[in-house]
Structures are given as C-alpha cells and as structure tokens.
Amino acid sequence: MSVLEKLASALGRRDEAPNVALATALAASGDTAAIEELVEGLSARDKNIQSDCIKVLYEIGERKAGLIAPFKEIFAGLLGSKNNRLAWGAMTALDAIAGVDPQGIHPYLPAIVDAADTGSVITRDHAVGILIKLYAVDVYADDCFALLSEQLSKCPVNQLPMYAEMALPAIRPQHKAQFAATLQSRLSEIEKASKRTRVEKVIRKI
C-alpha cells in the first residue's frame, strides 16, 4: 500500500488526524522509503496531496528530525513556492532540521531570511526559530545575531514578545546590550499592555 493512500485527502478526510497519525507511525518506524515517497509527493499536481505530504513531513521532523534532514535542499527550494502551505510547511521542516543539523541549514540562510520577510506569520516564526538555533553555533553567532536583530527590529508588534522570549535563553553576553536596546526601541509601538509587559520582562532579565 502506497503511503500516499494513507493521507487525509486520500481517505476523504478534511481534518489532519490521519496525517498526524501517519507522521507518528513513520517517526517510530523510520521507514525511509515511505518518507522518500512523501517527498516526491511534494511535486504532485494535486495540491491536496502536496499539502498532506508537507504536513506529514514536518510532523515527522518534530518527532525525529534526522529522518527528514536529508531533504533539506528540497525544503529550502519550496520556500518561494506560490503554494503558501508548502512555503510555510517547508520552513517548519527546516526549523526542525536546524535543531539537529544547524551546519546543514546554514547555506540556506539567504533564502530563509527572504522568505521570512515576504511570507506568512508562521513562516517568519520558524525563520526566527532557525536563526536562534544557528546563533547557538559559535562560528555563526555574530552573523545570526545581526539577522535576528533585524527581525526583532521590523517584525510585527504582535510577534515581538514571543520572539524576544524565544531568543532570551540563547543570548550571549557580548550581545545582551544590543538585544536589550533593540527591544527597548520598540516598546513605544506596543499598544497592548500585556504584550508590552512581556517585552519589558525580557529586558529586565537580560
């Protein structure tokens, strides 16, 4: 039985439960042939198949990222896809891979940053996650901090508290002052008191 026959769309389902169940099973079994078939499904003519395949793949990545890491180049190539589901799904997959193979993701930083600037909120969320993971690698720290600071400077105000909280544990001593200054510079833009309080708390902790 083809793994594609187990996708939600093939089963006539409109919910994601079959895709999540399939991802859980494949992460446990490590069935590389099935995973390769899902990757091939990303280029199917049927957008429902594309969407189901990327969902299963990034769900596998959340559970066992090493299984999808060999396909990072393919995911990077989807960041500019006109199918928004593929674009943000690919970024989600790359975020998972960055946790186990940051060096392998580093060459795709230009495409990742471009997609963050032009894509959906979810795309930017995971791009910031990638930057934070790569920032933890000594040789990438300065460059990734510059890119992270840029995102913090221009991201939507609604996302700023979450990004600040995500980055806080990773910030190195030499970057604390600039990190705090960047956040401080945006406080006046935050109208919602609860969000401003979250950012102020990060500034105090840093």
Express each pLDDT in 35-86 by its tens digit.
999 999 999 999 999 999 999 999 999 999 999 999 999 999 999 999 999 9
Q: Which two tokens stand for residue 41?
A: 């499904």
Residue 1 predicted with pLDDT over 90: no
pLDDT for the residue numbered 109: 97
Residue for token digits 């990545």? 61
Sequence-separated contacts (24+) of 122-126 with Cβ below 8 Å: 122/88, 122/91, 122/92, 123/79, 123/87, 123/88, 123/91, 124/151, 124/155, 124/159, 125/159, 125/162, 126/88, 126/91, 126/92, 126/94, 126/95
Rounded alpha-carbon distances, angstroms, from residue 68 to 3, 98, 192: 16, 11, 39
Q: Cβ(206)–Cβ(179) under 8 Å? A: yes
Q: What is the pLDDT of residues 119-171, one digit of tens each?
A: 999 999 999 999 999 999 999 999 999 999 999 999 999 999 999 999 999 99
pLDDT at 183: 98
pLDDT band of residue 23 (cuts 50, 70, 90) is very high
| pLDDT at 172 (0 to 100) | 98
Domains delineated in the chain:
1-67 (1.25.10), 72-206 (1.25.10.10)
The whole-model pTM stands at 0.95
In angstroms, the CA 181 to CA 204 distance is 11
* Number of CB atoms found within 10 A of residue 124's CB: 22
Q: What pLDDT digit, counting tens, does each position of 105-121 carry?
A: 999 999 999 999 999 99
The predicted pLDDT at position 6 comes to 96
Q: What integer pLDDT is reported at residue 138 of this predicted model?
A: 97
Confidence class for position 104, pLDDT limits 50, 70, 90: very high
Q: What is the pLDDT of residue 51?
A: 96
Largest Cα–Cα distance of the chain, in whole Å?
58
Q: What is the pLDDT of residue 9?
A: 94
Q: What's the pLDDT band for 184 if we cut at 50, 70, 90?
A: very high
pLDDT of residue 87: 97
Q: How high is the pLDDT of residue 188?
A: 96
